[in-house]
Structure 1
Amino acid sequence: MDQLLPIFSAPLAQLGNSTITVGHALVGGAAVLVLLLAGLAIALWRSARARTLAAAEAAEHARAAEARMAEITRAQSEMQGRMATIADVFGARQGELNKAISDRLDSMTGRLGQSMSEQARATHESLSKLQERLAVIDTAQGNIQSLAGQVVQLQQILANKQTRGAFGQSRMEAIIADGLPSSAYEFQATLSNGNRPDCLVRMPNDAPSLVIDAKFPLESWNAIRAAADAESPDAEKQATQAFRRDIDVHIKAIADRYFIQGETQDTAFMFVPSESIFAEIHENFEALVQRAHRARIVIVSPSLLMLSIQVIQAVLKDARMREQAHLIQGEVVRLMEDVGRLDDRVRKLQAHFSQANRDIDMILTSTEKVTKRGQKIEALELGTVEGEGESRGVSQVAETKSGSLRLRVVEGDD
């Protein structure tokens, strides 16, 4: 030991004023070795602890992974159950939709059939009424053609023969009967005052009737002719005065008897049965003619009476044609009303068909949407994404008001 002391005390290095010996070096080395061993032990302890922590963390991760796998398995089972529920709900809703569509189509078909039946019945009634109106129009047209085809036959005016029986009432009646229909005149009609004119011509449009008197004083005229033939101026003068008196009395009698306000015209005809007598009166008895005009009495010859009757006949014909025209016009108005109602009913039927087409288009649109939604559900793909939150999966199945189904996928972290 003593031998080793000099070795330990032998100088090894010089650092400034300090001398480092072998012993110092050995002590320092031992200290360094101790420090190294301590550091190695600490490192080994830390390594063992790290391995322990890593193992614990690995076990924790394994347990978390198992829990996540169990959650995924549970979610998958739950999703399969929900998918089965969705399929059942979709099948039930599809059945209900098919039933509703079938009921709607049946109801629409029934309404369309009933509407078409009603429209067909209304159309048949309108056509029947139309045929009746057309028949009435054909009848009225036939009457107009018959009236237009009538030709008034005029009698030849007799020569100025002066034999009795060729004048007066019979000639006037022949002219009236030849020129007017039987319903337009009446012989020996009784007026409201009890007088009976020779002829009463009924005017159209409820106008007062026209009085024709044929009581010409033929005897006085024959007396004038007889005096003229006898070449007796005094007798002829007396006969002329008597003729003026008789005509004047006759004019006054016509005015007093046959002028009734509202029943007869304020003008009357005094019939002269010969053209020669008529000419003689206008040539030689101008005062009588003027007196008759002032009394609103027209002296007419057979030709003038015939002309007057033709005018009256034309007025009556025009009135009848106007009545027929009004009848046709009324029928045409009613025909146009029927045609208007037929047009309204056809337009209503067209509107029903248009509404039915729109309803069918809406139904087809709804079925197309349902089919597309079913295809989307059928083509739905499910997957997982790793993360730090909850697992990805189906979290909600929502049902809309329109009857379609919608899936909402929520993404989350593991």
Structure 2
Amino acid sequence: MDTVLLDFGSGPVTLAMALPALVGAAGLLLLVMLIMHLREARRRAAATEDTGRALEDLMRAQAEMTGRMQTMAEIFGTRTSDLARLVNERLDSHGHRLGEAMRQTTARTEDSLGKLGERLAVIDRAQATITQLSGEVVSLQQILANKQTRGAFGQGRMEAIIADALPMGAYSFQPTLSNGSRPDCMIGLPNGAPGLVVDAKFPLESWQRFHAAEDEGERQKAAAGLRADMNVHVRAIAEKYLIAGETHDLAFLFVPSEAIFADLNEQFEDVVQRAARARVVIVSPALLLLCVQVVQALLRDVRMREQAHLIQAEVQELLADLGRLDDRVQKLRSHFGQAQADIDQVLVSTRKLAKRGTRIETLDFSGEDSA
């Protein structure tokens, strides 16, 4: 009990002195702890009550959430069904449209394939025709490669044009002139005029070299060669075929192609002019046909003049027949006039008979009148 616990300035504090204070402090501490425990118990009770209410609110909120979730699930289910139905309808519609489009596309494709097959058939026929034409062109090239055959080809065209347009006897092929030369053709002119000579030879090799030239120097050389050959040929025609009193003072140089004729007049005008001064006219198939038609018209006019007296005699006979027809018409007219007069006399007699019949009808055949 005398144990010193603390030493202050006023004196030491022993256990006996501090015991009542310690007991009071302990009691106070217990009291405080009891109060705190009560407060904690109240706080826990309040918290427990709040927790219960919170749990109730939570349960109520959970119930509401469950209801809302069920409602949303029902709405989602309905919407999903509608969406599935709409998707199915759309898929069916698209499938139908796609099927129709596929059918139309198939029909158009079949139609296009059919037309394509027809066009391919036409192309095949055209290709066969082109192949045939190619063979003919090759044959023509082979013909033109040979000088004699080429000359026969040009002469054949000339003879065909003249034979188609003129009658037999108006022309002659390969005649022999007084100087021993033989032109390709001679056309007889009317009124005893000298015949017109037509030559069907042409230096085609020179023209081909001119068109096959690749540079300007070779082209000029080929042009000079063509001019020289043409001048030689024109001079030969003028010297051999222009005979005074036997042939016409003009001769035709037949060119078997319109393209060659156009090239000569366009690029070799000096050759054409020189040939004209030598009284040699260069003609194409079209110009030769025109000249032959003019000759044909002249021959027809001459034949009409030769038959003019026969035509006049026929006209005189026609006039005589017309006079006889006029006399017969006049006689027929007089006969018709006499017949008309006779008909008038007959009508007079019929009128008289009608009047007599009327008077007879009006007579009274009773007894008094009879007496």
Q: Normalized per residue, which structure has more helix?
A: 2
TM-score by length of 2: 0.44
